[in-house]
């Protein structure tokens, strides 16, 4: 449930379109609903601006389906990350609204239209092998209501591919740089743009890459300013962080317009 949903309930009570018992029935599960194996945070959309996201890895299919069932009652958009095809098939038995993005293992259920931002989040990858992590960031940002632009396979091994897209880089409000190997893409992008850069190290690379640790350390030690780093393969975290930043940019713009 989002802030606007609570306001709608209170407005309906005020205008006598909803009695107190009906209002209490709608609000009784705030701030969370305890279903035994999970406590579903229905209040998160009000606190953080976005509903709770289901992290599927490590959960049983039965538990995931149970959580989705309870969230469906609230008529909110649902995002599930690190979901297998088996999880998707099970969810399809309780709703025909689920979409599965196999490359990044994400499930999306859209119950409400998404408000698209004017500010753009650009997602760039060093190589094609990084696309799965990049798509996790992209789908997350899109579901949270952002305009997303993809710029894939522009790593430093052929830096002319990146430099040929300078206009796209300059048009972004936030850049997410996704790279494995030595993770140099984030530093190069950071030296070309005047907007925040979120670096995502991936586990792609040969032995001394240490499963993404080399890229992580390189990004943390970047000499380019204005770079933040999320954990290895954490496309979701990058997409979520970029979305919160983009939302603040949009809110600041709206406040500026009202004050003019």
Each residue of 72-81: pLDDT tens digit? 887 778 899 9
How far is residue 254's CA from residue 251's CA, in Å, rounded to a whole number? 5
**Minimal CA–CA distance to 109: which of 64, 147, 154?**
64
Do 101 and 153 share a domain, yes or no? no
Please report whether residue 161 resides in a domain. yes
The lowest-confidence range among 9-13, 27-31, 224-228, 240-244 is: 27-31
Range of the domain at 188: 120-248
Is 149 found in the same domain as 75? no
Domain count, the chain: 2
Residue 219's nearest CA partner among 168, 259, 254, 180 is 180
Domain boundary among 79, 109, 139: 109
* Reported confidence tier of residue 116, pLDDT bands at 50, 70, 90: confident
Domain end residue (candidates: 61, 76, 109): 109
Judge whether 177 lies within some domain. yes
Q: Which of 31, 13, 14 minimizes the C-alpha distance to 22?
A: 13
pTM of the model: 0.82
Q: Are residues 132 and 194 in the same domain?
A: yes
Residue 258: inside a domain, yes or no? no
SS3 93: coil
């Amino acid at each position: 449930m989002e802030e606007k949903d609570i306001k709608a309930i209170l407005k309906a009570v005020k205008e006598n379109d909803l009695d107190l018992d009906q209002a209490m029935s709608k609000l009784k599960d705030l701030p969370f609903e305890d279903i035994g194996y999970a406590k579903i945070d229905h209040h998160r959309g009000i606190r953080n601006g976005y509903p709770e996201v289901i992290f599927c890895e490590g959960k049983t299919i039965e538990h995931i389906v149970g959580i989705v069932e309870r969230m469906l009652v609230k008529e909110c958009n649902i995002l599930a990350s690190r979901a297998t095809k088996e999880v998707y098939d099970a969810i399809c038995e309780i709703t025909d609204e689920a979409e599965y993005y196999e490359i990044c293992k994400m499930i999306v259920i859209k119950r409400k239209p998404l408000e698209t931002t004017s500010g753009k989040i650009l997602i760039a990858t060093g190589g094609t092998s990084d696309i799965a992590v990049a798509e996790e960031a992209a789908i997350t940002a899109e579901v949270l209501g952002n305009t997303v632009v993809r710029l894939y396979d522009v790593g430093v091994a052929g830096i002319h591919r990146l430099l040929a897209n300078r206009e796209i880089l300059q048009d972004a409000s936030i850049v997410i740089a996704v790279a494995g190997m030595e993770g140099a893409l984030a530093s190069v992008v950071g030296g070309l743009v005047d907007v925040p850069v979120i670096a995502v190290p991936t586990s792609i690379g040969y032995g001394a890459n240490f499963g993404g640790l080399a890229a992580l350390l390189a990004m943390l030690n970047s000499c380019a300013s204005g770079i933040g780093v999320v954990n290895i393969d954490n496309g979701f975290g990058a997409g979520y962080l970029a979305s919160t930043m983009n939302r603040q940019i949009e809110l600041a713009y709206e406040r500026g317009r009202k004050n003019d």
